[in-house]
A and B are shown apart, each in its own frame.
Chain A
Amino acid sequence: MSVHEDSWGFDPGYARRAAPLLGVLYDHYWRVTASGAADVPATGPVMLVANHAGPLPWDAVLVAAALQRAGQPRRPRLLVPDSAFERPWLSIAARRLGGVPDTPENAERLLAEGHLVCVFPEGARGARKPYDRRYRLESFGPGEFAEIALRTAATIVPTAVVGSEESYPRLGSVPGLGRALGAISLPRRVPNPLAAVPLPARWRIDFGAPLIASGHDPHRAADRTTVLELSDMVRDRLQQAVYDTLVKRERAF
């Protein structure tokens, strides 16, 4: 009897079947270097907070692959924009890879169940950034991720991803193309006609030191000042980590 989907619809076998193809992309196309992946806790609620770019979530896929190579037993669960779940096939693929609709309840429940969750607090803003603002983090909005991390006592791991911006340089936009191609984060506008074919940039993924938000209790999660302070702190750390990783990568192609 084969392994079934879990109650979230995640299909462990699906990701495993995609691994050989992904391995080629990982090693030879994008030449990914990862560091710190072994320090990501293997148990308990963990929130990977990463910077985001590109209309298709290759960053999430490569983060998952980097963790798997470092021996992380869990696959990161992803919060996927709703639009993906409205599209045929994309909805199935997103679900089977561990995607869930991007709502705060879902994030909180996943963490409460002790899952590893990858979040992109920039959201669609990250994907919409022009090329000359690459690797500059957008606003983290109201810091919802920090509130959820406080409430669920999750360990935060700032995850710097470098390479995603060059893979999808946003030089101009073509209205309507995104929909035609089924891109996830941009329903209407897509950076360039190459969106279907990401460029072979060199990637580097750096998992930062796990950050245990101090004073885990529900009262602190309700306090806006604490939430925004934590959100800002994580954002500063991640921005610094992204710049450091960018320097370490040396060449983009």
Chain B
Amino acid sequence: MAGRRVLITGVAGPIGAALAARLARDPGVERVIGVDTRPLEAGLAERIDLIAADLRAPDLGDRVAGSGADVVVHNDVLQLPETGRPSSALHDLNVIGTLQLLTACAALGDLAAFVVRGSAAIYGAEASAPAFWAEDDARRFPMRTRFQRDVGELEDLVAGFARRNPRVTCTVLRMQPIVGLGADTPVGRWLNTPVAAPTVLGFDPRVQLLDSGDAVGALRAATLRPVTGAVNVGSTDVVVLSRVLRAAHRRALPVAGPVWNTVVGTARRVARQPPLPPEVERWLRHGRAVDITRMRTELGFEPARTSIEAAKGAAA
């Protein structure tokens, strides 16, 4: 398909902007359209068209339909509330926003692919988990946190859309914790805690990270070569948490599990640091690694950086 027209939501964020910039340079892409309420950087604003709208705006449908996009990249999935907004607003953005976007997409006659930046948080972090989660293993355990439930609902919406619109290839990229590139992510916040990063006393799980550059790369790969269904995205190595901290030259501050939320929550408030979402505590306890076979074979994407390199880069 020559001359794709790609619409990217959340285009003013670091990952959306990097993706838009890369796609705008791609000869196979005719036009990049961004959707965001925030202003764009000057360099990017010249190269792409911006629809300055919120995903929940009533006129979103008309404006998206007018764009004539044939690939929609839904990148505006948030794990952290914007500063000054309650965490309950996340559900509104993630689920209601996605629903609105999908409704708008159903009216796009040329739409061939819908790509979502999802999250491997859908698997949770569990003691008795498969050591490498496969795409079919979601929902084996109760959904324990708000974000996990939101991601689950979001995937349900996308699956429903895919069922009703068989002509559209729907891809959900389940990304492992993203760090680096100025992206404000839960694990990025944790890693850059001043003085020492809190860990859970007596736990040192296996984890797998994703460099934000590779998150952009995976989104680009899915845009140019969409595959049907969920695809796990993570770096090629699975490492132990203590090694991540050593690589990033960060000290660990072990906090006992039962008082973790109280102690870390208070400490962050006192130090005027943004809070950590509840997923982080479970992740620090049990970790998570995913099977990336589908990413390599079907999506044809190979991450450039390992978890260790991603951690080093993010802590710099």
Contact = CB atoms under 8 A, between A and B. Distances in A.
B128 interface: yes
Nearest to B128: A82
A95 interface: yes
Contact of A101 (B128, B137, B200, B203): B128
Given A8-B206, A9-B206, A101 B129 contact: yes
A102 interface: yes
Interface stretch (B28-36, B62-70, B238-246): B238-246
Nearest to A90: B202
A234 to B, nearest CB: 25
A91 B289 contact: no
A91 B128 contact: no
Given A4-B239, A4-B243, A7-B237, A92 B203 contact: yes
Contact of A106 (B131, B202, B239, B240): B131
Contacts of A92: 202-204
A99 B281 CA distance: 22
Contact of B202 (A9, A91, A102): A91
A89 B257 CA distance: 12
Given A91-B202, A91-B203, A92-B202, A85 B127 contact: yes
Interface in A68-111: 82-83, 85-92, 95, 100-103, 105-106, 109
A153 B220 CA distance: 39
A109 B204 contact: no
B135 to A, nearest CB: 12
A88 B257 contact: yes
B130 interface: yes
Contact of B203 (A88, A105, A109): A88
A5 interface: yes
B129 A7 contact: no
A213 to B, nearest CB: 24
A83 B128 CA distance: 8
B30 to A, nearest CB: 41
Contacts of A5: 206, 239-240, 243
A87 B137 CA distance: 24
Interface string B122-135: 00000111111010
Nearest to A84: B127
A77 B261 CA distance: 34
Contacts of A87: 202
Given A86-B127, A88-B257, A109 B132 contact: yes
Contact of B130 (A9, A90, A105): A105
Nearest to A85: B127
B282 to A, nearest CB: 11
Contacts of B130: 101, 103, 105-106, 109
B202 A88 contact: yes
A59 B204 CA distance: 25
B163 to A, nearest CB: 27
B288 interface: no
Contacts of A85: 127-128, 286
Given A88-B202, A88-B203, A89-B202, A7 B128 contact: no
A252 B310 CA distance: 55
B289 A7 contact: yes
Contacts of B240: 4-5, 9
Contacts of B237: 7
Given A5-B243, A101-B131, A103-B129, A95 B202 contact: no
Given A101-B129, A105-B134, 17 more contacts: A4-B240, A5-B206, A5-B243, A7-B206, A7-B238, A7-B289, A9-B206, A85-B128, A85-B286, A87-B202, A91-B127, A91-B202, A91-B203, A91-B204, A100-B131, A103-B128, A103-B130
Interface of B: 127-132, 134, 137, 200-206, 237-240, 243, 257, 286, 289
The list of the 10 closest CB pairs from A to B, nearest first, reads A88-B202, A82-B128, A85-B127, A7-B238, A105-B130, A89-B202, A86-B127, A9-B206, A101-B128, A92-B204
20 contacts: A4-B240, A8-B131, A8-B206, A82-B128, A83-B127, A85-B286, A88-B203, A88-B257, A91-B203, A95-B204, A95-B206, A100-B131, A101-B130, A102-B128, A103-B128, A103-B130, A106-B130, A109-B130, A109-B131, A109-B132
